[in-house]
Structure 1
């Protein structure tokens, strides 16, 4: 039972997404924590997932009411039904093995609320009222009786099978384990269901095979190499910035549209792209960048959509976009799209179809050739707590590295976080603080085969707040490899693309959509792969200073084998456009990721490592 719910902790959990949270919302969440016996962190995580899934714009008391009714209450019903079903299974005799027991969901839910109320007592009873509606199809079982054998089989968790479209989302393993059920006849009997004894109980999310703990230990003597995948898109030296003219930015943005136009013309056998100013009563092909009328709106919306062409193709013209005939779409400012549309007047494009850019995504030109599994571990900053100078999260990660000894430990910034108040006021020089971190990492890896890959962040105090971000140039060690942000690396044939910038969060604020059958996080990941760019948003988020003279170093020319996109959004592992995409979680919240890539079958390899990749996102114990 959650005995003490803290207002401030609830506000802190929601602070990354909402500047202010109404008192009535906090009070309601406190009630839900007590009623459903869950922590502040858990209720906020589930609430944010609910808000994103149903695209709620603001966090109001009505939204929290919907969250309670449509999610928490139904979840409580399902868990209660499972426990009752298991109790019936334990109590039955062999003679009654084929009998059926009646079950009424409404009565069970009332019993559940009664039990919770008894636990709370009269003095601590929450003000929230839960109403059970009779004959509600969403919570009533039909038929009236449930076969215990078939129900137990249906409830038993299964290890996910691998498929081409495998997308394992956030999975709380502990929540999937049914509570132990004891009976009056034998209190020692424990019939709790277990997911898979090989899965770590602290695993938040997994993808691929559920290897046992000892199988994650790296015993291979194979030496792997790391190098840039393509040196033409790898930032290797410092550069001048803040000297770009508007006309030069326009030229760079034009070139991106022209590049897409050539790729699509070749792939779809399109003879030419139509001019915006020339009316065309029949369907024709158009290409350009999605934008909005900044004189009327401060962000993208369905009624302010504009379509901007390149200077070479359309003389830099722009035109209104009419999406009224589309059943589904997903757009954001800066997105390059190609479409079939009708241009009746030369003033508006009536879009009939948006062409899927999956058609031009390419697999990497290299193939893994190793014969032993490749082990990786990923940790994302901040590497200390919010108001502390210690490295406790980093030290915990290094303990895991020494235990499992992966081939590479990938560390993404921030290392010297601009949001850490202690770092802003400390007398210690920032460079010395960072060098101490790197020296510690190097010393911890000294007797291991593990090497570190270090990626900076725009939030680091010891680099310029620009994107692309130059690699660190300070403490030198043969155990540490420094690369820029973003970067695309080749580790013995495995192509890994990564950025420390929270592009998923920025995209989630810009995207508008309708009629989509793909959940939101998958759409955001697909945008990055299909746009062939680590940061395709234009204009950029105010938190990111994009240097357009170095826009080539933001390119993502292929769909990589692994794409690491750390974000404050929910952790996940997904297979998107032949890339295994991972949001790793942050070390400041005691979360890290481990990856095992198994040797491939050279004869059946199709360019994707989805069938050979195994990922676990783990929360370390405090």
Structure 2
């Protein structure tokens, strides 16, 4: 180290005594070493110790360097080594100077942190906060305090109390800028806190209060002029029911369909063999449906040469990572029908088609060269049959309603704007619910969206459970008091923080017992297939329409077919008899569990197909199914839309066709013809 006193002059004899015989007959080396001692204020022995350190370092470096000769001798204070030795000492002195400047530089007023002359914060300044673990009574605060507070390291309660409630300084006493005041820290050392809530909220979650000034988006939302705007109406000729609900009208009956009961399961444990087996079963299932629908005796192998036309079946895939196009379509066969091979398709002779990855199709054509299957006709899986009910039972349900339509309101999350967690859109939605008191409210998650900017940044003061209790469950309890007959259905989302299952399909949320929700709340799986009285509903709470639209490739003959794109996307779900037929699924949105694909199956077409998508909202009839896209209740920084359904009762009992004399006749429900749908702006 540098001497603190004026050094004595170093002689040649001193250097020879310290370094030994290596300096014999080396006047240049002695002169250089003497210069170093004079410049740095070192004695001969101190310089020798530094030389020893340098020598050891160089010898270790030489052993690890394969290019050095093994006969190389010890490091000698001659030639290049002296120049390197001077550089070595200079670097060592620079390190010491830097360390001394960070520890001994006087503290700048206003910070409890040592700062250099340039104003840059030094890491060693943290020592000034009493973080020296070698001292039992570590001092918290600035070293400049006359009365520093000390805490025993074993007394954790006292330390937390100091962090949460800094002491008010006495008159004339300098303010303590220790750990108890995070605001005093430089920006790069502060812990991020909420922009709108007090820091003490972390110690008392129930002390949360709304910000005094609304955010810009909240202000624009509260001042919007399109509140309650009717965006779209389906079956407007049915009119709006103006009557009052009779007090003795029974509540509706809601039952989950037997094949749709999904319970907890292990996800992320899917083996490749089991996944492949599940996907192969889907192709075999499609082959069976096509065989029955088109009276096919036998399906051929698309990859084998064939001179005449044959029928093949398989899954549509892409031969590249890019989006599907008419030159990259391949057909994947099942193991039994084609050994699981993929065959390139030529669709140039097909006048119109609509393909997407994962679609099960039948094709007619020929493979003349053994490489490409030329398609001449596309056979689609027929839509599933509509649900039916015996006329007597069906009319009994209508008589119970006494002419009053079944009122259903449906909304999909997110339920709060992007810049806050005040859930304004959900509040306004339940204001409408409280006014109209429908029979059923269907809420699709995410209730607490993990993609919300504040949640993703950790800028929240409440736990997720507390937030659900305060902002969401409170509406359920209030509605149970004012409208006991209203049932609330909760369908989870893969983006929901409340649900441990981030896969699809998902079992129901487990919030009823956990949060002691009222009896009018029901939790159903995602997707959900259930019936309200006689009306069958299917709800899929992933953006399957958007995923289909992003992957689909189509060719249409007429302009009308090209324009009805949304209807065509909804028809894919019915034709494939699946609530998520896309494969591979959207990478960042859906963690598809192939072993549970049966829970996505539609054995019967629903009367009402309810989806939520970022595509444009709509309500339209596809076949005999009423397909509805409610949209999202919140679209980033603005309010979105929700749907109001009025299912009017049948006025006349259904009768069997004259050609069908079957006493066990079951009548279709014809829900799409007797339901009014309003898409409303929140």
TM-score band (shorter)? 0.5 to 0.7
In structure 2, what is the Cα distance between the partners aligned to 1:560 and 1:311? Answer: 32
> How far does the alpha carbon of each residue in 1:485-543 deviate from its partner, in whole angstroms, 9 at most, with x for none?
11111111110001121111111110011125422111110111111111111111012
**For the Cα contact (< 8 Å) 1:386–1:421, is it kept in 2?**
yes
1:38 aligned partner? none
> What are the Cα deviations for residues 521-573 of structure 1, in whole angstroms up to 9, with x where unaligned?
11110111111111111111012111112221122222110001111111111
Instruction: Give the unaligned 5+ runs of structure 1.
Output: 1-199
Q: Which of the residues 607, 610, 620 maps onto 2:672?
A: 610
- Counterpart CA distance in 1 for 2:572 and 2:289 is 17
1:325 aligns with one of 327, 333, 349: 349
1:397 aligns with 2:425: no
| 2:43 corresponding residue in structure 1 | none
Matched, 1:579 2:625: yes
1:287 aligns with 2:338: no
> TM-score if structure 1 supplies the norm length?
0.64
Gaps of 5+ in 2: 1-226, 656-666
Please state if 1:242 is matched with 2:292.
Answer: no
Residue equivalent to 1:22: none
SS in 1 for 2:519: coil
Q: Which residue is 2:361 aligned to?
A: 337
Work out which of the residue numbers 460, 465, 469 in structure 2 matches 1:431: 465
1:469 aligns to 2:496 (yes or no): no
C-alpha RMSD of the superposition: 2.0
Shift of 1:439: 3.6
Aligned to 2:454: 422
Q: Is the 8 A contact 2:547 2:586 kept in 1?
A: yes
The residue aligned with 2:386 is: 363
Displacement of 1:216 in angstroms is 7.6
Alignment of 1:472-483 (within 5 A): 472-474=509-511, 475=515, 476-483=517-524
Q: 1:514 to 1:216 in 2, by over 3 A?
A: farther
* Paired residue secondary structure (1:432): helix
210 and 257 in structure 1: CA distance in 2 versus 1, 3 angstrom threshold: same
Q: Residues 410 and 526 (structure 1 numbering): CA distance in 2 closer, same or farther, change over 3 Å?
A: same
* C-alpha distance in structure 1 between counterparts of 2:557 and 2:246, whole Å: 45
Q: Are the counterparts in 2 of residues 442 and 479 from structure 1 also a CA contact under 8 Å?
A: no
Task: Specify the SS of the correspondent of 1:261.
Answer: helix
Aligned-pair distance for 1:453? 0.4
1:521 corresponds to: 566
> CA 1:352 to 1:607, structure 2 compared with 1: closer, same or farther past 3 Å?
farther
CA 590–541 in structure 1, closer or farther in 2 if over 3 Å, else same: closer
**Match for 1:500 among 534, 538, 541?**
541
Q: Distance in 2 between matches of 1:218 and 1:413?
A: 29
Structure with the greater alpha carbon radius of gyration: 2
For residue 282 of structure 1, give the secondary structure of its aligned residue in structure 2: coil
SS in 2 for 1:252: helix
Query: 2:495 matched to which residue of 1?
Result: 459
Alignment of 1:179-194 (within 5 A): none
Offset of residue 364 of structure 1: 1.8
Q: Per the alignment, in what secondary structure is the counterpart of residue 457 of structure 1? A: coil
Is 1:531 the counterpart of 2:576? The answer is yes
The answer to whether the Cα contact below 8 Å between 1:408 and 1:453 also exists between their aligned partners in 2 is: yes
**Do the aligned partners of 1:241 and 1:547 also contact (CA within 8 Å) in 2?**
yes
Q: Equivalent residue of 2:281, what SS?
A: helix
Q: CA deviation at 1:202?
A: 1.9
List aligned pairs for 1:38-437, cutoff 5 A: 202-210=229-237, 215=242, 218-219=245-246, 221-229=249-257, 231-235=258-262, 237-294=263-320, 297-357=321-381, 359-366=382-389, 368-369=394-395, 370-371=397-398, 372=401, 373-424=405-456, 425=458, 426-436=460-470, 437=472
